Amino acid sequence: MAHAYTPGLKVLHETKILKERRLPLKGVVLVKENDTVEPSQIVARTHLPGNVQMVNVANLLNIDPVDINEVMKKKNDESVTKGEILAETPGLFGMFKSKVTAPIDCICESCSDVTGQVVLREAPIPVEIDAYVSGRIKKTIPEEGVYIETVAAFI
């Protein structure tokens, strides 16, 4: 049986390698140096910011953008559930009120009195990084990830 040969191909049957496991954003490293880990073990965790949705409250209520703070029922960084009232006009003698409800479960992130837009942010998305290989934690990168040392075949 013939064997294929590729010039420069290096095959090491047992060698120590360092596997880097890093978060996309700063987060929390759950292991310490010299800990032993398994492939499915979570070594770091963070949360990605949720999706943003813009609602043009001034346009929907037919008011000037400068008046938006007067009609807002929710303030910045306040939680809002889907269907809950975001803003409401006082109406005429308490009647003929116009209102805008939240299209999603979110947090009211900001409100612009220049554009009349309200920024709504969905819940954060959790991200967990597993070890991927069995080995020992050689080095931790604070708030970012780890280097895992393991014995493996290297081709």
What's the whole-model pTM score? 0.68
13 contact partners, CB below 8 Å, separation of at least 6: 153
Task: List, for residues 9-66, the tens digit of each pLDDT value.
Answer: 777 788 898 999 999 999 999 999 999 999 999 999 999 999 999 999 999 998 899 9
- Please give the backbone phi and psi of residue 104, each rounded to the nearest 5 degrees, phi first: -145, 165
Helix (H, G, I), strand (E, B) or coil at 143: coil
Q: What is the dihedral of CA 103, 106, 109, 113, to 10 degrees?
A: 20
Range 17-48+125-154: architecture per CATH: Beta Barrel (2.40)
Using a pLDDT cut of 90, give the percent of the chain over it: 65
Q: Is the pLDDT of residue 4 over 70?
A: no
Start and end residues for every CATH 2.40.50.100 domain found in the chain: 17-48+125-154
pLDDT range class, residue 96, cuts 50, 70, 90: confident
Q: Is the pLDDT of residue 72 over 70?
A: yes
Cross-sheet strand order for the sheet of 28-29: 28-29, 42-48, 125-130
Residue 61: exposed, middle, or buried by beta-carbon count in 10 A (0-12, 13-18, 19+)? buried
